[in-house]
Amino acid sequence: MTKPADIRAKSTDQLGTMLLDLRREQFNLRFQRATGQNEGASRVRDVRRDIARVKTILAEKTISAAKA
């Protein structure tokens, strides 16, 4: 699980890359669950929450950039 402070310290480009990586991981975890190879359901939840954190902070940065 990634802390919000660590995510806020990254640039918009880095956040976009991080979001892409998290979505790939989410896809792979869903695929593993479908094939019965999933090691733990907690990682699926953590990835989903990390995606939400990154998207929220990206939206915050976009809004603050539009106001400036």
Q: Residue 10 has what pLDDT?
A: 94
Q: What pTM, to 2 d.p., does this model score?
A: 0.89
Confidence of residue 62 (pLDDT cuts 50, 70, 90): very high
Q: How far apart are CA 46 and CA 15, in angstroms?
A: 17
Q: Is the dihedral of CA 27, 28, 29, 35 positive or negative?
A: positive
Q: Which CA distances in Å does 14 have to 10, 18, 22, 29, 44?
A: 6, 6, 12, 22, 22
Domains and CATH numbers, the chain: 4-67 (1.10.287.310)
pLDDT tens-digit profile of 14-56?
999 999 999 999 999 999 998 988 777 899 999 999 999 999 9
Inter-residue contact 29 to 44 (CB < 8 Å):
yes
